[in-house]
């Protein structure tokens, strides 16, 4: 090994005299895997995706969901995705940017979806997550509450829950909380 | 004063000055070897924490003279029990600076250059300057980054054999409480960090609804304060785990939460541990792992004995167990693998290139999307990106690759024939034909 190092020293001297390559960007393994996920996206018409930082930054993007059935039909909900350089070893960080009256999404945009935390597996993909989010709107679940009040209303009085959702989406108060219009 | 030189290298001399029969084929015993190690070998230690302090000391005492250390952290009071190069008066100072200074004070002749910055802040050339990179890190992200940098220097010849002079070996140590590992990574020869990333168990993540509704442990209370309460109170302000004020806030909120639910056990150090995903460090585990790493570094450099092949685990939880496992490379690894060699004309357009991937016998990738060093040259989906990249299809690949004669590019798409098609992501080594300074490569599949 040591002889190799001496050779390297010489090589380095030579290289320093020549014109080096321009500095290049490193693409992490996470970025490459994400590139694959994104290029294979197969979204339903109810879901859209956009890249605020342009076509070369896939690590931060936004997903729009427009449910076509259920309590949230007609609403538009925006989610931000933040991907780690060690994706898919680590799940994406997903936040709901639209303030929503929902048992599994709190008022700060935290989302209770199992595959985003305890059940994330590297074989899952961005497509799986988007379908999971879509599913939250067609079948909100009072058993995994993040918005405690909304969950209780859904469990005890689905009619009232439905009218609360309508009121919130149209832009109005549910209890003390104001929800901006999202239809 | 009596010179300490002879006694200092006495034990090392037994390894370096005498021939042996379990040595590497390249081993040349003699004083010249000892002097060469002093003069030529340049080692970078990544991390100046629990492992880093041990590594610097061990390497300096193993005869290495040219060391550099990089770490972005400052010394905290809680480090002092095991990061033995630091004193109480050092709290608040950069770890790299203090560690370098202390080892230089104690070991005469050694030169250690500290770098107080993030590993990503250094240009790639910085890392290329070292013969061996020794890692004393506690995060997967940082390991993955250094691994990709070191493997990025690796070049393969036309027969897919790694070019010796481009190999940048790494020695990686890691500890968690009573457990630890030491491994030798020779890119292109032994598995890289990415080949075996599954060895690292994913971090335990509690469901948010459990944190919000039914906390049962101290860690639940801490994660509630960290993930939910922080955002409620500091709307928009990002939590910074390295800011002691932020950590203190999370700690006091976690205490309130724990009192509310009658849960014992929330402490400041547990808060740090949970939020930063750190398991309490044990000084002796660091010492054992670091010693193994320093020895492997010496063996690799000198050839004085066979190196670890290639992954040592140490477990002192119940009794003491050590095991060496010889993991194998992932031949298709995107980071250290050779990729598929393609010799191309400079005139080939991106569209023709994509067609070629479909017909290439080793690839058979239909409808490929192409990415080159962070630039997405063409995306088949989603429609918004397809539209943005469509205009590249008629441009030559040579131009899109900034006229670099030889480089790596990645393609994803459906690979295989007929019913057995499956989604794949492949590394491609593109060489443009007929350019000065590029050796001709025997390869079918050109345009
Ligand atoms: Zn690899």
Q: Over chain A, what is the mean pLDDT?
A: 89
Q: Could you tell me if residue A20 is inside a domain? A: no
Residue ranges per structural domain of chain B: 10-198+281-325, 208-275, 340-416+423-445
Q: Could you tell me if residue A167 is inside a domain? A: yes
For residue range A37-90, what is the model confidence (pLDDT) as tens digits?
999 999 999 999 999 999 999 999 999 999 999 999 999 999 999 999 999 999
Q: What is the DSSP string of B97-108?
A: HHHHHHHHHHST
Q: Could you tell me if residue A138 is inside a domain? A: yes
Among the partner-chain residues A12, A36, A85, the one whose CB lies closest to the CB of B412 is A36
Give yes or no for residue A9 having a pLDDT over 90: no
Give yes or no for residue B168 having a pLDDT over 50: yes
Q: B340-416+423-445 sits in which CATH class?
A: alpha beta
Q: Could you tell me if residue A11 is inside a domain? A: no
CB contact under 8 A, A117 and B228: no
Residue B184 · residue B190 · CB < 8 Å? yes
Q: Which CATH superfamily is domain B208-275 in?
A: Ubiquitin activating enzymes (Uba3). Chain: B, domain 2 (1.10.10.520)
Q: What is the DSSP string of B304-370?
A: SSPPP-SEEEEE-SSS-EEEEE-----TT-TTTS--EEEEE-TT-BHHHHHHHHHH-TTT-EEEEEE
Contacts of B428 in chain A (CB under 8 A): none
Contacts of B209 in chain A (CB under 8 A): 104, 112, 144-146
In percent, how much of chain B has pLDDT > 90? 69
The structural domain count of chain A equals 1
pLDDT of B167 reads: 94
Q: pLDDT band for A5, please (50, 70, 90 cuts).
A: low
CATH number of the domain residue A55 falls in: 3.10.110.10
Is the preceding omega at residue B310 within 30 degrees of 0, hence cis?
yes
Name which of A29, A60, A146 to mutate to probe chain B: the one with the most chain B Cβ atoms within 10 A of its Cβ. Answer: A29
Give yes or no for residue A7 having a pLDDT over 60: no
Q: Could you tell me if residue A13 is inside a domain? A: no
Please provide the CATH number assigned to the domain covering B10-198+281-325: 3.40.50.720
Q: Could you tell me if residue A97 is inside a domain? A: yes
pLDDT of A39 reads: 94
Domain range for A116 is 27-176
Q: Could you tell me if residue A3 is inside a domain? A: no
């Amino acid at each position: 090994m040591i002889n190799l190092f001496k050779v390297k020293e010489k090589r380095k001297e030579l290289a320093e005299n020549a014109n080096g390559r321009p500095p290049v960007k490193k693409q992490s393994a996470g970025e490459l895997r994400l590139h694959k996920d994104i290029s294979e996206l197969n979204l339903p018409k109810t879901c859209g995706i956009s890249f605020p930082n342009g076509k070369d930054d896939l690590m931060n993007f936004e997903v729009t969901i427009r449910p076509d059935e259920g309590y949230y039909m007609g609403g538009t909900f925006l989610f931000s995705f933040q991907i780690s350089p060690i994706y898919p070893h680590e799940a994406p960080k997903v936040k709901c940017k639209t303030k929503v009256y929902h048992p599994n999404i709190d008022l700060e945009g935290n989302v209770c979806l199992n595959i985003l935390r305890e059940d994330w597996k590297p074989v899952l993909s961005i497509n799986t997550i988007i379908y999971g989010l879509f599913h939250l709107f067609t079948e909100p679940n009072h058993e995994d509450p993040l918005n405690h009040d909304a969950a209780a209303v859904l469990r005890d009085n689905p009619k009232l829950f439905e009218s609360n959702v309508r009121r919130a989406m149209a832009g109005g108060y549910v209890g003390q909380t104001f929800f901006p219009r999202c239809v | 004063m009596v010179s300490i030189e002879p006694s200092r290298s006495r034990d090392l001399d037994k390894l370096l000055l005498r021939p042996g029969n379990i040595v590497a084929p390249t081993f040349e015993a003699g004083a010249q070897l000892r002097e060469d190690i002093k003069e030529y070998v340049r080692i970078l230690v990544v991390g100046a924490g629990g492992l880093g302090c041990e590594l610097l000391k061990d390497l300096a005492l193993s005869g290495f003279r040219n060391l550099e250390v990089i770490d972005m952290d400052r010394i905290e009071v809680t480090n002092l029990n095991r990061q033995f190069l630091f004193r109480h008066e050092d709290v608040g100072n950069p770890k790299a600076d203090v560690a370098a200074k202390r080892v230089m004070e104690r070991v005469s002749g050694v030169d250690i250059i500290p770098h107080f910055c993030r590993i990503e802040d250094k240009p790639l050339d910085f890392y290329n300057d070292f013969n061996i990179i020794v890692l004393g890190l506690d995060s997967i992200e940082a390991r993955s980054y250094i691994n990709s940098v070191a493997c990025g220097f690796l070049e393969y010849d036309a027969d897919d054999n790694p070019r010796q002079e481009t190999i940048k070996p790494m020695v990686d140590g890691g500890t968690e409480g009573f457990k630890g590992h030491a491994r030798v990574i020779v890119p292109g020869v032994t598995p890289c960090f990415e080949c075996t990333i599954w060895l690292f168990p994913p971090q335990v993540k509690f469901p948010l609804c459990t944190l919000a509704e039914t906390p049962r442990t101290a860690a639940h209370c801490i994660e509630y304060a960290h993930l939910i309460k922080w955002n409620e109170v500091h709307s928009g302000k990002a939590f910074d785990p390295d800011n002691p004020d932020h950590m203190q806030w999370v700690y006091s909120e976690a205490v309130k939460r724990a009192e509310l639910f009658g849960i014992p056990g929330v402490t400041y150090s547990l808060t740090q541990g949970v939020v930063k995903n750190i398991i309490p460090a044990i000084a002796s585990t660091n010492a054992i792992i670091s010693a193994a790493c320093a020895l492997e570094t010496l063996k690799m450099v000198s050839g004085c004995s066979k190196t670890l092949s290639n992954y040592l685990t140490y477990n002192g939880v119940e009794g003491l167990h050590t095991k060496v496992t010889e993991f194998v490379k992932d031949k298709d690894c995107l980071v250290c693998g050779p990729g598929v060699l393609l010799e191309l004309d400079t005139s080939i357009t991106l569209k023709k290139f994509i067609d070629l991937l479909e017909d290439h016998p080793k690839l058979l990738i239909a409808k490929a999307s192409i990415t080159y060093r962070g630039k997405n040259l063409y995306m088949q989906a989603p429609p918004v990106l397809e539209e943005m990249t469509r205009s590249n299809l008629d441009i030559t690949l040579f131009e899109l690759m900034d006229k670099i004669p030889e480089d790596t590019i990645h393609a994803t798409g459906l690979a295989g024939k007929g019913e057995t098609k499956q989604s794949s992501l492949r590394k491609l080594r593109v060489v443009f034909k007929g350019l000065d300074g590029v050796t001709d490569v025997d390869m079918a599949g050109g345009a």
